Amino acid sequence: MDQQTKIIKHILVGVDDSPDALTAFQYALHRAKQEDTELTIVSILESHEMNVFQALDKDYVHGQRAELEEHIKKYQQLAKEAGIKTVNAVIAEGDPGDTIVNQVIPAVKPDLLIVGARSKQGIAKHFGSQAAYMAKYAPISVLVVR
C-alpha cells in the first residue's frame, strides 16, 4: 500500500428514515465488516420539522428524541448482528449537514462519512441537498450512496 492510500479505521454513517439512508447504512455495514473498522451511526433530531409550540414543549421534544433513540438502537443491533465489533450510536440536534460537519465529525473523529443521496421529506429537501453540503464542507472523505 503506498503512502497516498488512506487507511480507513472508523466509518461514520448518517441515517434517517429515507430509503437512501438505509442503502447508505447497508453499504457502511458491508464496508465496516470487510475492512474490520469501527462504525458510528448518527441520526439528527431536526428542530425545523417541529412547529414553534412543539419545539417549546419539552415533553414533545423528549418524545421525539426517545423515538429517534429507539430507531438508532435498531440500526446498532443490525450492525452488531452483522459482525461489526465496535458499533457506536450518536444522536445530535439541529440541521443535519451542519451538525454532522461541525459537531459530530470533530467529536467522533471518523476517517470516512457515508450518507444517502437524498434526505427524508422536509424543509431540507427544498433548500438543497444535505449530502452535497457534507461532501463540500466535511474535513474528511465523504461517500454519497444512492
How far is residue 49's CA from residue 74's CA, in Å, rounded to a whole number?
22
Do the beta carbons of residue 96 and residue 46 sit within 8 Å?
yes
Q: Find the range with the poorest average confidence among 61-65, 97-101, 115-119, 140-144.
A: 61-65
CATH of segment(s) 20-120+138-145: 3.40.50.620
Q: What is the pLDDT of residues 54-79, one digit of tens each?
A: 545 555 555 677 888 898 999 999 99
- Given the C-alpha cell 454513517, which residue does it identify? 13
DSSP character for 114? E
Domain ranges of the chain: 20-120+138-145
